[in-house]
Chains A and B, each alone.
Chain A
Amino acid sequence: MTDATSQGGARPSGPSTRLTAADSRTKKRNASEKRFRAYGLAAIGTGLFFLVVLLTSIISNGSTAFMQTFIEVPVYLDPEALDPNGNRDPADISKVSTFGYNPLIQNAVFEQVQDKGIATDYEDAGDMKALISASAAAQLRDRVIANPDLIGETVDFQILASSRVDGYLKGRVGRDSITQDRNIDAGHLDIVDALREDGTVHKSFNFAFITGADASESRPEQAGLGVSMLGSFFMMLVVLFLALPIGVAASIYLEEFAPQNKFTDFIEVNISNLAAVPSIVFGILGLAAFIQFAHLPQSAPLVGGLTLTLMTLPTIVISTRASLKAVPPSIRDAALGVGASKMQSVFHHVLPLAMPGILTGTIIGLAQALGETAPLLLIGMVGYIATNYPEGVISGFMSPNSAMPAQIYEWAKRADPAYYERAWGGIIILLVFLLVMNVIAIVLRRKFERRW
């Protein structure tokens, strides 16, 4: 530095002083800038590459979950099996369990096979069990209990095919992969091939995957994400109605009213630290505070929501304070200058101007909470839980339920490979939700944000 000034000015000390030809130092600087740009491009390229890999693998693994294999078959509802007393008494009919319905469906499929003249070595209708989902019996039983007059008639049903058959149509199960499989034989696949040609077995869009409830390990073909979606929805309601008011009140106080002293500094440092606390810690806190101490019920979306509120609060406080800070002091001064009280200046002028930023922060916080699994593990929201639709708003908050990410985690753990596909499908739905929330946040920011 001092040397340069003593030589008088920043003129390059080389022989060439022409402006049109770059000297070696300029070349060096230009080259290093080029290199830096290349590094940046490479970084972005790597990021994009992984994004593409991620999206392709999610979509290629998960999109098959949205299609499902069905079998269309006329089922004869045998009065002898379903209503032995013959008086169509609903109490009698509901005594016949799903196990009583299984033979009817197996017979129906077997008859189809014989009627169509499909050559097969199977001689017993019970062998058709491998083709049919275990959910078919429950579907049939519900229909009969709702309408006992159907007994004695032959009714067309669209039943789910078993997960192995579904896997065969989707290419997940092949003839060589089932040689060791006890659940299905090559003979069954021959039948499937034949029935598929005439349309009895077909794939169609699987609404039940989006709206349905979780299913047990033995019937992945029936499992859906609908109930856990409701669980997530109720949790987000709790988070929104608790974290937003508490977070905004706390930030307004800290930003506008609180004196600057050691105590408020201490609080500020702690809020920033809380935002960085691993989410599983909030799970343990939720277990101890809400379930063990306050005796709220296990697995309830209310508890999940309360726990996620704790996790989301710091995010909301930080973003709210940032947007309050972004409102220029001249606005406050002007309000105070015309005689407004401190509170009037905040609620009439500062808060409305900060609102877009607050809402954006809240939505981002909610999106983060929506995708969170770890705290839910500890408060009993993972397992075979999301099976009953809540009966109303209160039951929505209180009765056991899961959440979308917890349900995906649960599916990924299960033994049957058909659940793996469903886990990926669930990720697609979850990503769509997150994308929508982030787009809303961006639109709000673009539309209402003011710059000074």
Chain B
Amino acid sequence: MQSVKLAASALAIAAVSASAAAARDNVQVAGSSTVLPYASIVAEAFGENFDFPTPVVESGGSSAGLKRFCEGVGENTIDIANASRAIRAGEVETCAANGVTDIIEVRIGYDGIVFASQQTGPEFTAFEPSDLYNALAEQVLVDGELVANPHTTWADFNGDLPDVEIAAFIPGTKHGTREVFEEKVLLQGCEDTGAMEAMVAGGMSEDDAEDACMAVRTDGKSVDIDGDYTETLARIDSNPNGIGVFGLAFYENNTDKLKVATMSGVQPTTETIAEGEYPVSRPLFFYVKKAHIGVIPGLKEYAEFFVANEIAGPNGPLANYGLVSDPELADTQSKVSNEETMGSNM
């Protein structure tokens, strides 16, 4: 008998809660794990300074976040998607098909991608894109011929680099960071070494050659890390010869364990990235569902607060954490306050 009563009360709780589900009063954000630290810093300050509850920020990756963003309009869908890359045309189409037509794109700043190794490990202090290409690509140019990557140590192709086994830990394919690594490092290195030319001369189309350039060797010298940078750090910690790919902010929080390498002779810092000298950087975005502004309390205020000078400016807490602040922040601010959607100025 008692269990019948219990079941009844449980059903009652479920019913009450289902009706309460209709009113959401907090902003919900999901997406890139690279943007998550920045979003959490903003959300915290937002909760402290406004009467709205602190927004909820989930991670899971840019693609996963945008997928949820495009599920539709309504209180059980998220309001903002964080992304470490721009939204793709296909994603805009999916969004539109599900009724998410008005999207406000907000660029919050830039993030640098750095190559770092153990503080006490071998002297990995200077890289060129061609070095990483030679070390990690599937096919490289040796004596003018394209061959499957034969290099086993860094010194095999560049006498200035340490004579140790190649062991690189790069982000897995579900990370936005991987895309930047492929395009700004591998592709660049492919062109620099002349492998690209050789591929096109060998009868490949331009697109196929680009794909071939960005293919990473699969013989275990390069390891895909699907988890977070903490996992990469753990791998580097246990492997003195390892080279890892990190976000600038993560590196700056772990300078006691990691030693960063220059790229094309430029030290990665917020300044060199802001000036565009350091080559491996990318813009960070978040996307706001315009249909939710005015429905979800605090949504527009949160978006405006995010790009305010005191937050995203060069001296704000985000820059302090490692974000490279956007020189065109004022444009972004006006875009958010005017609620300009992506289609409106194309």
Contacts and interface: CB of A to CB of B under 8 A. Distances in A.
Interface of A: 97-99, 134, 138, 141-142, 173, 177-183, 215-219, 238, 241-242, 244-246, 248-249, 291, 295-300, 302, 347, 380, 382-385, 387-388, 394-395, 397-400, 412-417
A216 B44 contact: yes
Given A217-B41, A218-B320, A415-B230, A385 B48 contact: no
26 contacts: A99-B310, A173-B256, A181-B256, A216-B43, A216-B44, A218-B37, A218-B320, A241-B6, A244-B3, A245-B3, A296-B17, A296-B76, A297-B21, A380-B58, A382-B58, A383-B56, A383-B57, A384-B36, A384-B43, A387-B56, A388-B47, A394-B17, A395-B20, A413-B227, A415-B249, A415-B250
B10 A242 contact: yes
Given A400-B26, A400-B28, A414-B37, A302 B47 contact: no
Interface of B: 1, 3-4, 6-7, 9-10, 13-14, 16-18, 20-21, 24, 26, 28, 30, 33, 36-37, 39-41, 43-45, 47-49, 53-54, 56-60, 75-76, 78, 227-230, 249-250, 252-256, 310, 317, 320-321
A279 to B, nearest CB: 18
B57 A181 contact: no
B253 A244 contact: no
B44 A387 contact: yes
Contacts of A238: 10, 13
Question: Which among B10, B53, B252 has the highest number of chain A CB atoms within 10 Å?
Answer: B10
A415 B76 CA distance: 30
A398 B20 CA distance: 7
Nearest to A222: B44
B319 to A, nearest CB: 11
Contacts of B310: 97, 99
Contact of B3 (A248, A388, A394, A400): A248
A416 B253 contact: yes
Contacts of A387: 43-44, 47, 54, 56
A249 B44 contact: no
A416 B256 CA distance: 11
Given A178-B256, A302-B17, A417-B254, A297 B44 contact: no
B227 to A, nearest CB: 8
B36 A383 contact: yes
B312 to A, nearest CB: 13
A416 B250 CA distance: 8
A246 B7 contact: yes
B230 A414 contact: yes
A9 B47 CA distance: 88
B44 A417 contact: no
A164 to B, nearest CB: 10
A295 B72 CA distance: 12
Contact of B230 (A142, A180, A394, A413): A413
A394 B25 CA distance: 14
A92 to B, nearest CB: 14
Contacts of A412: 230
Contacts of A398: 17, 20-21
A129 to B, nearest CB: 9
Nearest to A252: B3
B43 A397 contact: no
A97 B54 CA distance: 15
B7 A245 contact: yes
A297 B24 CA distance: 9
A97 B301 CA distance: 14
A299 B256 contact: no
Given A242-B10, A244-B6, A98 B230 contact: no
Contact of A382 (B10, B17, B37, B59): B59
A383 B49 contact: no
A265 B229 CA distance: 49
A177 B256 contact: yes
Contacts of A141: 48-49
Nearest to A410: B59
A395 B20 CA distance: 8
Contacts of A395: 20
